[in-house]
């Protein structure tokens, strides 16, 4: 390796390290802030490293509402918003997993049918789906709310799942369509000639080939449904049924903000998705890259 190439590589790594630091610093700051006592958060000048470490913010979030209700029944008080954090977290997990399963399964079957069967409008459907994904969610969130109200599904997790499916399914179907177009149909025809059923061909030949695309579609759906705020804000009313993104906003009380709880909840919201993303990053990059090339 020449000196010029070595210098270029060092410069590249330095740039990547700087970008990584800028991207990760807000989460690092949130973590250290969540470990500070409430009075230390407002010290000036601010410090990154806590002088006194405490788990009080996490304890307030993770002890659940039952303890608060028991104390409230004795004192006549009410449970604070932090008592519902575990409910919000569970709601987000249920909605995210439900949306991911439905959107991935439906988009995979729909994309396969678009590439293997002939029917009127076959060529236009993928592009219409992509146009549907490009439409801002706020345009159809209120018509969907009226539909959910007519179906008596407002303030239910099912309404959120259906809403998120509407905004994730078009892109997932377009992504899977691009993958199935790259799967040689001759392989399936040979398996059919050998006596395999269409279902067996789809399960044993097509799905393993399109696995990177399925993982990419699933991760995309996970991120969108976990981070969305608009649908949860419009569809949900009761404190127990809120998703995380909407629930943590209750830590803002007029002009007062409980920054300790806010930072602790931000860490607990971000870390699971960050770990999942890092674990599946290779599949995500391969999925989007291969889908773009094949499509």
> What pLDDT score does 288 carry?
54
> What pLDDT score does 284 carry?
63
Task: Name the band, by pLDDT with cuts 50, 70 and 90, for residue 104.
Answer: very high
pLDDT tens per residue, range 153-172: 888 999 999 999 988 988 88
Task: Name the band, by pLDDT with cuts 50, 70 and 90, for residue 102.
Answer: very high
Task: Name the band, by pLDDT with cuts 50, 70 and 90, for residue 61.
Answer: confident
Which of 14-28, 35-49, 161-175 has the lowest average pLDDT?
Answer: 35-49
Rounded Cα gap, residues 192 and 28, in angstroms = 55
pLDDT value at 76 more than 70: no
pLDDT value at 198 more than 90: no
DSSP the chain: --HHHHHHHHHHHHHHHHHHHHHHHHHHHHHHHHTS-HHHHT-SS--SS-SS---HHHHHHHS-HHHHHHHHHHHT----GGGGHHHHHHHHHHHHHHHHHHHHHHHHHHHHHHHH---TTTTHHHHHHHHHHHS-HHHHHHHHHHHHHHTT-TTSHHHHHHHHHHHHHHHHHHHHHHHHHTS-HHHHHHHHHTT--HHHHIIIIIHHHTHHHHHHHHHHHHHHHHH--HHHHHH--SGGG--HHHHGGGGEETTEE-HHHHHHHHHHHHHHHHHHHHHTHHHHHHHHHHHHHH-
pLDDT value at 80 more than 80: no
**81-294, which class in CATH?**
mainly alpha
What does the domain layout of the chain look like in residue ranges? 81-294
Rounded Cα gap, residues 99 and 226, in angstroms = 10
Task: Name the band, by pLDDT with cuts 50, 70 and 90, for residue 40.
Answer: confident
Cα 208 to Cα 64, 103, 183, 211: the distances in Å are: 42, 18, 10, 5
> What pLDDT score does 94 carry?
95
pLDDT tens per residue, range 203-246: 888 888 888 888 888 988 998 899 889 998 999 988 889 999 99
pLDDT value at 67 more than 80: no
Task: Name the band, by pLDDT with cuts 50, 70 and 90, for residue 35.
Answer: confident
> What pLDDT score does 292 carry?
46
Averaged pLDDT for residues 248-271: 82
- The residues, ordered by sequence, that sit 6+ positions from 265 with a Cβ below 8 Å of its Cβ are 61, 85, 244, 248, 251
pLDDT value at 112 more than 70: yes
Phi (first) and psi of residue 180, to 5 degrees: -65, -25
Averaged pLDDT for residues 125-145: 83
> What pLDDT score does 5 carry?
79
Task: Give percent of the chain with pLDDT exceeding 90.
Answer: 15
């Amino acid at each position: 390796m020449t000196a010029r190439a070595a210098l270029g590589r060092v410069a590249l790594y330095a740039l990547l390290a700087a970008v990584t630091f800028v991207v990760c610093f807000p989460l690092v700051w949130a973590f250290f802030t969540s470990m500070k006592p409430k009075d230390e958060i407002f010290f000036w000048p601010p410090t990154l490293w806590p002088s006194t470490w405490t788990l009080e913010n996490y304890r307030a979030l993770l002890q659940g509402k039952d303890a608060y209700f028991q104390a409230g029944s004795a004192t006549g008080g009410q449970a604070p918003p932090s008592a519902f954090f575990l409910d919000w977290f569970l709601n987000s997990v249920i909605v995210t997993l439900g949306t991911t399963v439905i959107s991935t399964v439906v988009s995979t079957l729909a994309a396969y049918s678009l590439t293997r069967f002939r029917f009127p409008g076959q060529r236009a459907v993928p592009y219409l789906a992509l146009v549907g994904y490009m439409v801002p969610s706020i345009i159809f969130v209120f018509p969907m709310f009226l539909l959910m109200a007519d179906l008596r599904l407002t303030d239910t997790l099912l309404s959120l799942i259906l809403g998120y499916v509407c905004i994730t399914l078009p892109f997932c179907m377009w992504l899977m369509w691009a993958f199935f177009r790259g799967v040689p149909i001759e392989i399936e025809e040979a398996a059919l000639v050998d006596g395999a059923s269409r279902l067996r061909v789809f399960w044993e030949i097509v799905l393993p080939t399109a696995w990177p695309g399925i993982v990419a579609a699933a991760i995309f759906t996970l991120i969108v449904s976990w981070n969305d705020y608009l649908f949860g804000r419009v569809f949900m009313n009761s404190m127990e049924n809120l998703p995380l993104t909407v629930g943590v906003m209750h830590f803002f009380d007029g002009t007062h903000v409980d920054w300790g709880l806010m930072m602790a909840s931000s860490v607990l919201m971000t870390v699971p998705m960050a770990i999942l993303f890092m674990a599946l990053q290779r599949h995500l990059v391969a999925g989007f890259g291969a889908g773009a090339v094949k499509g």
